[in-house]
Amino acid sequence: MGGLEATEGLNSLTDIKAATENVTMESFQPERPYRFHALAYTHLPVSRTFMSCAYTMKLYRMCQMLLSLGHEVYLYGAEGSDAPCTEFIQTHTLADIRKEWGEGDNRLECNGLGYNWRKTGFKHDMNTEHTQTTQQFWANAITGINQRKKPDDFLLLMQGRYQQPVADAVQLYLTCEPGIGYNGAIKPPLPYTQGPWHAFESTFMMYFIYGSWFPFGDPNGVSYDRVIPNYFDAADFPFESEKEDYFFFIGRMITRKGVWTAINTAEAVGAKLIIAGQETPEINVKSFPSHCEFIGYVGPEERARLMGKARAVFVPTQYIEPFGGVNVEAQLCGTPVITTNFGAFTDTVEHGVSGYRCDNMKDFVNAARCVSNLTPAVIRNHAERYLMSNVRFEFQKWWDDLYRLYLSTLTSDHRGQGWNYYE
């Protein structure tokens, strides 16, 4: 019983690296495989084509990690999904997506969505009234899961309450939210003796969600919830030791992403700033000053090249960032990051080693002047903690712990239930 006995007690990065030193994504096999039903999103196929959607790529990489660990993955989502899996169950078509959000733009670069998502960003109904297509997605996913499920299967909700109708209908004990970087996590009933179980992308997100569930309260911790960070494919972010004379910013063109902080800092130090990302009505990119070059949407190869060659990458998000994947992507390229000093950055940025966390404009300017003192190889080494080949073992321990919890519900012997259960 148990999927990975060798990872028992992995409590530090040193433990994880030791366990994975000679193990590749392809070579590892657990003692016991599990079965996972993974829910995608209504508005996009699960494909690397849409790599700029952080949630889509999170699910794509989750499928990769689970398969590399020897598990079975049943993926439910839109036509055009090409994530690796044991079986793909199509719940709706690209025509359904175009019906809800299309603008009649059928050019090849629209990839069947019917609108120019590279320029405008993605359209969805996660924060609005749910569309007919989403309800169809739910219904077909419910049917597909009920046809395939076993009592000890895992159900992965990649968007919490947005997918709760499926969870409520299929009633799997091992229901999990494995990547909470959003505000819609499902609050389980008290006492915490059933799921969904939660893995948060950062320490901040765990305490924020608990606090939102119990405002001004005094909640207990949940032994079977975890903080497991976002995860990245090393092949997407090659290391680059040689830098060029520009700074880089990439993100949606909204004020809260901090683009004006990046612009003002680069101006203060007399540097060029390359800006990439999907446009929004909020910011007129034609108003950017002359030291800035706006290049719009960039694909994964160009993004990695620009990150790798930059003196530093700005991630000065004004809202409290759940994870801010760009900062880890840049570090994996060996490039320092300049961020704000709250949210997930306190987990992911080692101040003065992999970048600088800033409190005010003076800090940003000083950081931009000092980044050349940081060592690309050290930055890359710091960020490797977030590679899929490492993070998957943190998930494996979570799956094993949760599976033992499930088994504990089937026994009434002296070993007890829940966290007291042992083999």
| Contacting residues for 208 by C-beta, under 8 A, at least 6 apart | 320
Is a pLDDT exceeding 60 seen at residue 101?
yes
| Contacting residues for 284 by C-beta, under 8 A, at least 6 apart | none
Q: Do residues 250 and 298 lie in contact, with contact meaning Cβ atoms separated by under 8 Å?
A: yes
d(CA 175, CA 167): 7
Average pLDDT over residues 276-289: 93
Q: Do residues 288 and 277 lie in contact, with contact meaning Cβ atoms separated by under 8 Å?
A: no
Instruction: Output 167-174 pairs: Cβ under 8 A, ≥24 positions apart.
Output: 167/196, 169/138, 169/142, 170/37, 170/142, 170/145, 170/146, 172/37, 172/145, 173/406, 173/409, 174/402, 174/403, 174/406
Average pLDDT, the chain: 90
Is a pLDDT exceeding 60 seen at residue 5?
no
Q: What is the pLDDT of residues 290-305, one digit of tens each?
A: 999 999 999 989 999 9
% of the chain beyond a pLDDT of 90: 77
pTM of the complete model: 0.88
Domains and CATH numbers, the chain: 5-231+388-420 (3.40.50.2000), 236-385 (3.40.50.2000)
Q: What is the pLDDT of residues 312-336, one digit of tens each?
A: 999 999 999 999 999 999 999 999 9
Half-sphere exposure of 379 (CA within 13 A, CB side): 34
Residue holding tokens 């657990």? Answer: 30
